[in-house]
Amino acid sequence: MNKFSGITKLTRIEHSAMLVLAVIAAEAISGTVPSLSPLLVSLVPPVFISAAAFAINDYFDVEADRENRKTERPLVNGIVTPNEALFISAAGFAIGIGTSLLISRYAFYIALMFSVLAVMYSARLKDMFVIGNAYIAFTMVIPFLYGSYAVSNRIPLSILAISATIFFAGFAREIHGMVRDYKGDSRARGSKNLVKAIGTRNSSLVAAAFYAAAVASTAVPFLYLPPFRMNLAYIIPLGAVDLVLAAIAVAYIKADRRNRKFYDFARNASLFAMAIAVLVYLVSAVVYVPV
């Protein structure tokens, strides 16, 4: 791993790609996708603020990551230094918040709020019962709210509906992440999160319940809300995503707690499934296949 690849690992560049899709999807659902220049400007804040948030999180989490033997993390293996991570984080927040001023006051408010919460989460909220989980789930919703406000001054019901789905799935995925990392988080950070309170198996059951809520909520836009109402371009691929998330939820309940490879695979699989869901939202916002 060289310095460049270390920085991309630190900032989780793949998440930024998913955010770009989410913002464009929200813009398409909320009105029309703007012309190229305004579109590119609207994508700068989520990309840079997301990168900054991951960098500051790894800065605060370095000891926990060592406890959890995450040797692939660039701060753990020394490819990126803590001071470099702080600089990258500060620069990302500054660029993201500054660019949001060019879009709208709503975009600025969202960018500023998310930046402040990202630092608070990394420093302390992560270790608090349920609050950290809810924050991470909310960060997955923010790109859709931001995208709506980037092109209009309202949030359509369809955006609220898919935001609920994403929140439930994101909450479940974050619980799974805490199940994976609970030993290191407890030793290095003194975390008093959900896993600490009720144990790994019960936490996996709670995560499964949230995944079930996410799956059930996908029916609402299909039944009632344009552009997804009775749209096969929405329900068929999203149904496949639902099956993947359900399988991951069941596998976590049965998982061998020592099987690190399973946790890594499941984490990546759930991220891939959610990225496909975002792509489905984008495609079905502009493509209608009637029942």
The per-residue pLDDT for 209 is: 94
Secondary structure of the chain as H, E, C letters: CCHHHHHHHHHCHHHHHHHHHHHHHHHHHHCCCCCHHHHHHHHHHHHHHHHHHHHHHHHHHHHHHHHCCCCCCHHHHCCCCHHHHHHHHHHHHHHHHHHHCCCCHHHHHHHHHHHHHHHHHHHCHHHCCCHHHHHHHHHHHHHHHHHHHHHCCCCCHHHHHHHHHHHHHHHHHHHHHHHHHHHHHHHHHCCCCHHHHHCHHHHHHHHHHHHHHHHHHCHHHHHHCCCCCCEHHHHHHHHHHHHHHHHHHHHHHHCCCCCHHHHHHHHHHHHHHHHHHHHHHHHHHHCCCEC
Q: What is the pLDDT of residue 257?
A: 63
- 232 touches 290 (CB < 8 A): yes
pLDDT of residue 227: 94
The pLDDT value given to residue 220: 96
The answer to whether residue 196 is domain-embedded is: yes
- CATH number, domain with residue 146: 1.10.357.140
Query: Is residue 174 included in any domain, yes or no?
Result: yes
Please check whether residue 144 lies inside any domain of the structure: yes
Please list the pLDDT of the chain residue by residue as tens digits (291 residues): 689 999 999 999 888 888 999 999 999 998 777 788 889 999 999 999 999 999 999 999 898 888 878 888 999 999 999 999 999 999 999 999 999 999 989 999 999 999 999 999 888 877 776 787 888 899 899 999 999 988 888 899 999 999 999 999 999 998 888 887 776 666 666 666 778 788 888 888 999 999 999 999 999 999 999 999 999 999 999 999 999 999 999 988 887 666 778 888 888 899 899 999 999 999 999 999 999
Q: Is residue 291 part of a domain?
A: no
| Domain limits for position 278 | 3-286
What is the total count of domains within the chain?
1
Identify the pLDDT of residue 265.
87
